[in-house]
Amino acid sequence: MFKQDFKYYKSRKPAPSFENVLNLKHPTNHKVTPVIPKNTLNHFFGLKPIEQWNVYEVGDRPGLLLINNPFTSLGQCYWVTRCLKDYSKKPNKTNLDSHNIIPGNVDWWDYSQNNIHSGVLQKLRWATLGYHHNWDTKVYAEDMKDSTLSGHTDHSEQNLEAPLISLSFGQTALFLIGGSTIDVKPTAIFLHSGDVVIMSKAARLAYHGVPRIIQNNDLSWNVLLEDCNNNFENIEQDNLRICCEKTLWRPFEQYLKYSRININVRQVLCQGELMLN
């Protein structure tokens, strides 16, 4: 069932119907239950006040929590700049390391901006902070505009009890999540810029994937002047300046016009463990 639905939503001719896709902006036609979140330190992470969050459980997917964009526009901008400018830097590992495309003393973002016609901007597929998982074991489409992520489960960590948290920025993903085998029919969900997925309990080891990226014209990451005047705590001044000055933000904005950024946060070790076995 998972493979059939993945193929259906990936198809270009004929184009699929999105009638049965859960949209967190208007979740009226699906079996979702609103969840009241506990208080959090939202001022540290560029998040909206907690009372403005829309959090949902999906009835037939136990352990799956969905949050409809809890970020301010400045918060989205901040995490986008961190991903592109900072998290792609050495010593963090990327898929480009083995190709020797970029000189050893130069960072990917700086090199791509100074060598626009090299094509290297489109070649970054992943970067890893901390424990390195070999992301090349997953199957990705080469064209970023048609980027897909094949169905898989996340089971590489020693700790499979802690939830997996996934943040989306940029273009909209059509996300599928099923069950413990590919025989379970998946739920289709639109993940817009800023949306958060939390996979816990049974959902932690469920098959999931992204068969399609869809053009997003919302531009919810563009920062308003009042956002810059209401800066969230602990933001680095150079990142704040990038977000609030149009000329500095423009390269990041251009990148988002054809790309989706996905941040996955996972706990590798179990409580009390200090290193991998």
Q: Which parts are annotated binding residues?
A: 152, 154, 208
Give the sign of the dihedral formed by CA 254, CA 126, CA 5, CA 208.
Answer: negative
For residue 112, the 8-state DSSP code is: H
Cα gap 182→85, rounded to integer Å: 37
**CA distances, 95 to each of 10, 141, 157, 230 (Å):** 24, 14, 20, 37
Is the peptide bond preceding residue 14 cis, with omega within 30 degrees of 0?
Answer: yes
φ and ψ of 97, to 5 deg: -60, -40
Burial per residue of 110-133, b for 16 or more beta-carbon CB atoms within 10 angstroms, e otherwise: ebbeeeeeeebbebbbbbeeeeeb
Query: Closest Cα to residue 228, out of 246, 208, 214, 212?
Result: 246
Ranges assigned E (strand) in 59-141? 64-68, 93-94, 127-128
Query: Closest Cα to residue 19, out of 34, 8, 7?
Result: 8
For residue 86, the 8-state DSSP code is: I
Count of other CB atoms within 10 angstroms of residue 265? 13
Binding region for Fe cation: 152, 154, 208
Cα 187 to chain centroid distance, Å, stands at: 18
